[in-house]
Amino acid sequence: LFYREGLHAITAERVADHAGLTKPTIYNLFGSKDALVFETLQRRGHQIRQYIERRAAEHDDPEEKLMSVMLAHAEMLTSEGFHGCPLVIAAVQSPESTQARELANAHKAWLQGLLAQFAKRAGMKPPDVLASSLVLILEGAAALSAVQPAELVAKHARAAVRALIGAHTP
């Protein structure tokens, strides 16, 4: 609900109704709507990281691991209902929330670190610059997919990723 309709549009009562609970039960479990949102974002971030790690674990070659992370993002980008990174969206929708910004930033730092690790193992130079640039491509693609056909955005992002990786490969 939060992702689909927006953090501020959803009330604790609506969450309770959707979950088959009462509003007091929601508050007893989480203490506040903000705490519920934060828990939801933490869980979603964890799910995304697990998905990416599983995809990368399917390969032994570090360059294939790197590409699998990019392909996993392309799959998310073109999946039904996708309209951007839920962690970044939450940070944008709640600019006063230090927790939302820190959570989104930590997730992106994890992603950048993972990409840098795979790039370094593959002998790509400089791995940190490549990883930072790849994250920019992923974030740009996620944002553009809200206003352009996701398949087209993913196609252009894949081309940009291949060119960038080629430029960093010795």
The span from the first CA to the last CA of the chain, in angstroms, equals 46
* pLDDT above 90: residue 34: no
Tell me what the pLDDT averaged over the chain comes to.
93
d(CA 70, CA 59): 13
CB 52, CB 112: distance < 8 Å: no
pLDDT tier for residue 6 given thresholds of 50, 70 and 90? confident
d(CA 111, CA 93): 22
The tens digit of pLDDT for each residue in 36-47 reads: 889 999 999 999
Burial 145-170, CB ≥16 within 10 A → b, else e: beeeebeebbeebbebbeebbeebee
The tens digit of pLDDT for each residue in 140-157 reads: 999 999 899 999 999 999
Record the pTM: 0.91
pLDDT of residue 45: 95
Residue 71, CA atoms < 13 Å, CB-side half-sphere: 12
Token reading at 24:
């007091």
